[in-house]
A and B are shown apart, each in its own frame.
Chain A
Amino acid sequence: MPYVRTRYFCLIAALVTIALAFASRLATNDYFFFAGYVVLQYVVMSTAWNILGGYTGYVNFGTAGFFAIGAYTAVVLHKLFAPPLVVDIAAGGVMAGLVGLGMGYLTLRLRGVFFAIATLALAIVLQTLVTNWDFVGGSRGVYIIRPETGPFGHPYIQFLFLVMLVLSAISICIARAIEHSKLGYGLATIRDDELAAESAGVPTLKLKLIATVLSGALMGMAGAPLPYYVTYLDPTSGFNLGFAVNSIAMPLIGGTSSWLGPVIGALLLATIQQIATVTISSALNLLIVGVIMVGFVVLAPNGIIGLFERGGRARRRPTEKEAA
């Protein structure tokens, strides 16, 4: 893959986003936007997961918790003073980022399976809290009335689709910028060997906290529009383990070494799930994920990206020798 400077990459991402936004005008059926929203939501989620899981090597199983923090932050704000969606998203990101910071302080001393269990526990604790919080509907759930039209006069779902498209572009740009930065180097050393990283001068705790905050904040931002999408939100659906399973499976299937892996994984898997929901049954989703995961673990342990990268990946700028 040729090296493109981060600012040009973001420019290209912006152009692609605009092109896709205009292309989506060709869709004749609103179902396209409902399905597309979910696919893009997973692009954000798996990209966010990969910042901590892929780059840093810490498997976060509490994805659903961060996602639901975003969603419930939006619910709270909606009930208080119904601000514009952008405010919900920003607040959802901040809240989930703060929880990420707290979780990081408490759990980053754990490694591997223990860290994964701790994050899963965090999601369960949060779910219990929300279930018992009457203001956001408790276990009964909460209804949010979706506005008829978005700010541009189109049906609101089309607006939500565009919002998620922009969020996808932002998260991809962040992931890609990290990958080619000093921070990216630092995170990779943590994944490879934390003791060696410290002794090379890498402030591992600080970098891990940055990764948990960024990753959590992006997940919270992805969750914030959810109440407007589903119009009825209850803890069981907001904290659905399916979010966690999908956000882990997608980067693993696509490949965790670069920003592209989670994007490919999410587009592929989420699209298959959407098609299966319509054509076969909605209960089949997780089964499909399971089967595909097993297939990839056996046949392509480094994901789809790994299949195309024989003999080392072009993670960073190649030297003259490599380019020749």
Chain B
Amino acid sequence: MSALLQVDKLGKRFGGFVALDGIDLAVSAGERVGLIGPNGSGKSTLVNCIAGALRNETGTVHFDGRRLDRLPAHRRTRLGLARSFQLPKPFHSMTVAENLHVPALYTVNARHGAHLSNAQIDARVEEVLTQVGLHEKANRRPRDLTQIEMRKLELARAMTADPKLLIADEAMAGLSHSEVDDILALLLRLNAHGVTVIMIEHIMRAVTSFSQRLVVLVAGRKIADGAPEEVVRNPEVVKAYIGE
């Protein structure tokens, strides 16, 4: 299997509601994939099934050659699969820097041959905070942050885990034009350093300029998968977004 992430026939129901129906998805190492779809189409559910916050009922998820389905979320993170949450979930009793200490202590240090000393962790946290532009807020608590800073913290925490694959779940919703560009640049930089990125986004400008490939979910089914310019012209996609 050459793909970094391989999702086969993944299905998830909530009671009688079919949230995901036979999703196939392959993402190669180093790729930038955009995942789009109308509200309620199952994007976040798919991410939750991949990252382990939800269990899929049918189908399989393989990551880096290992089967993930039965692993708890923290094991998946340790294998190199990090995600940010659509609604930021900071650890509110900790400072911004301490928030990043957690993945350093529990993910990076849980991997073989990667034990960081306290000084190395501090340096790593400092480095990530500088990258996302939060270093001046290192000792503040999440409640003192603005919306965009909160989203940056969310991304920073995922980045500190040193992932092979980063899933950014609507990291830019509600941000201004220039703020979106900030985050885009950040994700592109990460990708240039070899991190595979799956971006879930409603802001078409951002997702089309970022992605090498677009995947479209509608009502729990994958209806398109291909180059962005083709996908946005796909009649089914247009129908789902604009109607007939």
Contact residues of A with B, CB < 8 Å? 182, 185-186, 188-189, 191-193, 195-205, 257, 312, 315-316, 319, 321-322
Contacts and interface: CB of A to CB of B under 8 A. Distances in A.
Given A185-B102, A199-B74, A312-B95, 12 more contacts: A185-B105, A185-B106, A188-B93, A197-B102, A198-B74, A199-B73, A199-B82, A199-B83, A202-B106, A203-B106, A204-B74, A321-B138
22 contacts: A182-B105, A185-B94, A185-B102, A185-B105, A186-B106, A188-B93, A189-B91, A189-B102, A192-B93, A193-B92, A195-B85, A196-B91, A198-B72, A199-B51, A199-B74, A199-B85, A200-B106, A200-B157, A202-B74, A203-B74, A205-B72, A319-B139
- Kindly name the residue among A185, A193, A197, A199 whose own CB sees the greatest number of chain B CB atoms within 10 A: A199
B141 A198 contact: no
A193 B94 CA distance: 12
A195 to B, nearest CB: 6
B110 A201 contact: yes
Interface of B: 51-53, 72-74, 77-78, 82-83, 85, 89-95, 97-98, 101-103, 105-107, 110, 138-139, 141, 157-158, 161
A68 to B, nearest CB: 33
B89 A196 contact: yes
Nearest to A257: B93
Contacts, number: 91
Contact of B107 (A185, A192, A201, A204): A201
Contacts of B106: 182, 185-186, 200-203
A203 B91 contact: no
A192 B139 contact: no
Contacts of A186: 102, 105-106
B72 A200 contact: no
Contact of B53 (A182, A195, A201): A195
A146 to B, nearest CB: 45
B102 A200 contact: yes
A266 to B, nearest CB: 23
Nearest to B105: A182
Contacts of A191: 93
A56 to B, nearest CB: 12
B91 A193 contact: yes
Nearest to A313: B93
Given A312-B141, A316-B98, A201 B103 contact: yes
A199 B52 CA distance: 8
Nearest to A318: B139
A199 B141 contact: no
A198 B105 contact: no
Closest 7 CB pairs of A and B: A201-B107, A196-B89, A198-B73, A201-B106, A192-B91, A200-B103, A201-B77
A197 B161 CA distance: 12
Contacts of B91: 188-189, 192-193, 196-197
A322 B97 CA distance: 13
A201 B101 contact: no
B92 A192 contact: yes
B236 to A, nearest CB: 33
A316 B101 CA distance: 12
B85 A188 contact: no
Contacts of A257: 93
